Structure 1
Amino acid sequence: METFYDRLVVHDDFETMSLIKTYAPLPDDWFVGVADVVGSTGEIERGRYKVVNTVGAAVISAQINAAGALRFPYIFGGDGAAFALPGDHRDTAEKALAAVIRWAREEFDLEMRGAVIPVATIRDNGLDVAVARYRASKGVDYAMFAGGGMAWADREMKEGSFRLEAAPAGVRPDLTGLSCRWTPVRAQKGNILSLLVLPEKDADAEELARLYRNIVAVEESLERAGHPVPESGPGYRWPPEGLDLEVAATRGKTSFAVHKMKLLAATFIALIFFKTGWKAGAFDPKEYVEVTAANADFRKFDDGLKMTIDCDAKTQAQLTALLKKASEAGLIRYGLSEQPEAIMTCIVPSVTRNDHVHFVDGAGGGYTRAASLMKEANPGPA
C-alpha cells in the first residue's frame, strides 16, 4: 500500500534538509510515537551506553516488524526514537511500543516511557510535524523532521501526558533483525564528536536555516563529511561485543543460554566469511561491510540538528565558535559530547539486501550526554 511517505521526493543533498520548504506536513489523520529511556544519563555513566542504544533502536525495530511492508518515517535519538504512521495503524503500533517498554523493564531493568499522539492534536497546540527524506546511500534513505511537533511530543511524554502503559508481563516485541555485532569505531581524525543543536522558542527561521547551513558546510569540509565509519566498513571480532544484547533482543521465548549458543555459532561462521572474503550465494561480505558504512545514519534533522562525526581539533573549534555565537545571540541551545569511539546499532532484515540500517552514536554517551550538557548550560524548560 502506497502512503504519503512513499510519494515524497528523496533528496541527495544533506544541506537542503536545513530548508523548511524541503519538508511536507504529515497528513492530519496520522499519529506520532515517541519513546525514551528514563534516567538514561545515569545508565550511560554506569557504562550501559550500548544497552541504552539497543533499547532505543528496539523502538524502531518493533515498529518495522509490526508494520510489515508499510514504509513510514522514523528517527533514532540515542536513548530513544520517534516515528509516524497512518491512523489506521495506531492499535498495532501501540501494542508494539508497549511490548518494547515491557521488554526493556524485564530484560534490562530499564524504565522506558512512551506516548502516541495524533498529528491533529499537535497542530491544535500550534505546532506542526513535517517530514523529508534524505538518501544516505543507494540502498537507504532516512526521515528528517521539522515543525517543532516531534520536540513538543517528546516534552509532553516526559511530563506524563499521553502515556502508554507497558504491555502485560511476559509480552515481548518482535525485534527480528536487531543486532549489535560491530566493534566500536575509533576516531581517526581526533574525537568522535556528538553534536546536538536545538532552536530557541520563536527563533528566526531564516537565521536558523543559515546557521544550519554554516554548520553543515564546516562539517562537510572534513574528509567524507566527518563520517565516523571507514569506507571499508567497521571492525568485526568474535564473539561480538554486543552478542548478549542481540540474544536478549531476539531470543523470544527461547532460553538465553540456548539462543546464545545458536548466535555464537552463526557469528563464528560470519567471522570466517568476513576474514576470508568468501561469498555465499547472494551474500558478499566485502560488499556488505562497505554498504554498512554507506548506510550509517550519522547526521540528521529532528526539530534541530544532530551529528556524530569524526572531527579534528581545528574543525571542532570552528563548530564550537559558531554554536557559541548563535547561543549567545539567543538563537539556539546546543550540547557537544566528545569520546574516542563511535558505536552502531543495526537493523538488518536480510544480509543479502542493501536496505539494512545502522544507527550511529558516540560510545561515551553521544547524543544523550550532549543533551545532558545542553540542559546543564541552559536550565529550565527545553
Structure 2
Amino acid sequence: MPPDAAEPSPPAAGFFAELPLLANERDTFEPDGWRPAPGDWALAVTDIVDSTGAIARGLHKTVNFVAAMGIAGLRNLCAPVRIPFLFGGDGAVVLVPPACIERARIELARARGQAARDFGLTLRAGLVPVDTLRRFDCDVLVGRFEPTPGNSFGVFLGGGVGVLEAAVRGHGNSELGRLAAIPESLDDGEPVNLEGLSCRWDTLHSTRGTMLTMIVRGRAGLREVYADILQLAGPDDQARPVSLNTLRARWPPKGFMLEARARRRKGSLLAWTARVLAETLLARIVLARGKPIGGFDPERYRREIVTNTDFCRHDETLCFVIDCPVTAVEPIMKYMAEKALSDGIRYGIHLSDTALMTCLVTSPADSLHVHFVDGGGGGYTSASRSLKGVQP
C-alpha cells in the first residue's frame, strides 16, 4: 500500500476549529483565547539554512516561497481540517492532527527535497507529537487569530516552538532533535501538493516612508511594546504594510517561475510555465477590469487582502511588519533601546522601502485566502540577525 493511502481521511472538524476567535492582533495578548494543544497532535517546524546568504544573492522571494511550502503542503494534506500555522520569513510552524502525522512526515521530506532540487535551498524540517515536547519542560498553547471568517493563523505560547526549533537546528536538546528528525528516505521524489501557493503581486512599496520589520523577545511586556510601537507609528489602519494603495499586479509577475517549478508535478517545466503565464494573465485582466465575474469580485478580493495578512507571535517572540513614517523611526528606536535596558527585552529592526507578499489562496470567490508578509531586503532574517547582537 503506498504511503499516501496508509491513513484514513481526516475528520471535517478539529481542535483548532473549536478555539475562540482572536479577531485582531491585540486580541492575541488576551489569555482567555489560548488552549493547550492536544497531546496527540504534532508540531512541525521548518527553517532554511543560510537564508541570509540566499537573500544576499537576490533570492529573498524564493526564501519566502520555500518557507511557505511547508504550510501549503501540510494545509492541503490535512484539509478539510483547519490547522494552525505560522510564517516566519525563512521558516514555518504548523500543528497537524493525529490522523495526518505519518503523511505529514512524508510531505515534509518531499518539501525538503523539492527545496533543494527546484530552488537550490537547504530546508531543515522536524516534527514531534506535543506529548513528546511536554517531556522536555515546555508546552504548546494555541490561539486562533482569524481576521476574517475562515481565514485563520496560529499563534503559539508555552515554549514548545522555540525548543523544537533549537533542536532541529542542532543547537538544542539532541534527544529531541533525534525524535523530531525526518529521514531522507521518506522523500520519494514526488512533488508536494502546493495548490494555492503563489506570489503574483508586485513588491509592496511604502506609502508612508519605510517598511519597518521588527522582532521583539521578552518574558513580559510584549502587549505594551506592540501598542506603543503602533501609537508611535500612527493609526493601525495606516500602519498595515498591505493597503489598496500598495497592491499592484504586473504581468508577468516576478515570481511566476517559482510557481511554475512548484506546480509542475513532474510535467514539462515549459508547459507549466505557459500554464502559469496564462492563468496570471487572465487574473491580471480580471483584476484590471474590477468587475465581478462569476462568484469572484475583484474589488472585494483586494479589500480582503488588506486584512487577511499574518501576525507572528510564538512563545516570548513577537514579529511584525508595519508601514511607518520616517519621522517615527528615531522615536521607535529610542523607545526600544529604553525597553531593552529597563525590561530586558531584546529586539531587532530592519528598514526597507518595500515588503514582499506570498499568498495561499484556497478559494478567492469564497473569500478564503491568506497572505504572508516580510519586509524587503531581508526583513525577518535581517531583524533576527541584529537581534542576536542586542544585549538587555
Match of residue 79, structure 1, among 82, 86, 90: 90
Match of 1:127 in 2: 138
Q: Secondary structure at the match of 2:125?
A: strand
The structural deviation recorded for 1:274 is 1.6
Match of 2:9 in 1: none
Q: State the one-letter code of the partner of 2:228.
A: N
Match of residue 190, structure 2, among 157, 171, 176: 171
State the distance in 2 between where 1:120 and 1:224 align.
40
* 1:97 matches 2:108: yes
Whether contact under 8 Å (1:232, 1:290) holds in the other structure is: no
State the distance in 2 between where 1:233 and 1:177 align.
22
Match of 2:71 in 1: 60
Q: How much is the aligned-residue C-alpha RMSD, in angstroms? A: 2.0
1:356-380 CA-to-partner distances (Å, cap 9, x unmatched) read: 111011121111111111123359x
Segments of structure 2 that go 5 or more residues without pairing to the other structure are 1-11
Match of 2:299 in 1: 286
Question: Map of 1:148-297 to 2, 5 A cutoff?
Answer: 148-159=159-170, 161=177, 162-166=180-184, 167-168=186-187, 170-199=189-218, 203=219, 205=220, 207-218=221-232, 221-222=234-235, 224=237, 226-231=239-244, 234-297=247-310
Q: Which moved more, 1:210-219 or 1:135-144?
A: 210-219
1:99-129 CA-to-partner distances (Å, cap 9, x unmatched) read: 1101001001111110102212222222111
1:270-321 CA-to-partner distances (Å, cap 9, x unmatched) read: 2221222243211222222222222122x33122111111011233333322
* 1:116 matches 2:116: no
Segments of structure 1 that go 5 or more residues without pairing to the other structure are none
Match of residue 148, structure 2, among 119, 137, 145: 137
CA gap of 1:174–1:238, structure 2 versus 1, over 3 A, is same
Whether contact under 8 Å (2:78, 2:96) holds in the other structure is: no
Whether contact under 8 Å (1:78, 1:368) holds in the other structure is: yes
State the distance in 2 between where 1:376 and 1:313 align.
24
Q: State how many pairs are aligned.
A: 372
State the distance in 1 between where 2:52 and 2:349 align.
14
Q: State the one-letter code of the partner of 1:109.
A: G
TM-score, structure 2 length as denominator? 0.89
State the distance in 1 between where 2:192 and 2:391 align.
37
Whether contact under 8 Å (1:113, 1:163) holds in the other structure is: no
TM-score, structure 1 length as denominator? 0.92
Q: Secondary structure at the match of 1:338?
A: strand
Whether contact under 8 Å (2:190, 2:265) holds in the other structure is: no
The structural deviation recorded for 1:212 is 4.3
Q: Which moved more, 1:366-375 or 1:228-237?
A: 228-237
Moved over 6 A (4+): none
* 1:337 matches 2:355: no
1:198-253 CA-to-partner distances (Å, cap 9, x unmatched) read: 22xxx3x4x4544444345545x335151011136610011111100110111111
CA gap of 1:213–1:275, structure 2 versus 1, over 3 A, is closer
Whether contact under 8 Å (2:88, 2:312) holds in the other structure is: no
State the distance in 2 between where 1:29 and 1:274 align.
43
State the distance in 2 between where 1:268 and 1:209 align.
43
* 1:14 matches 2:25: yes
Q: State the one-letter code of the partner of 1:145.
A: F
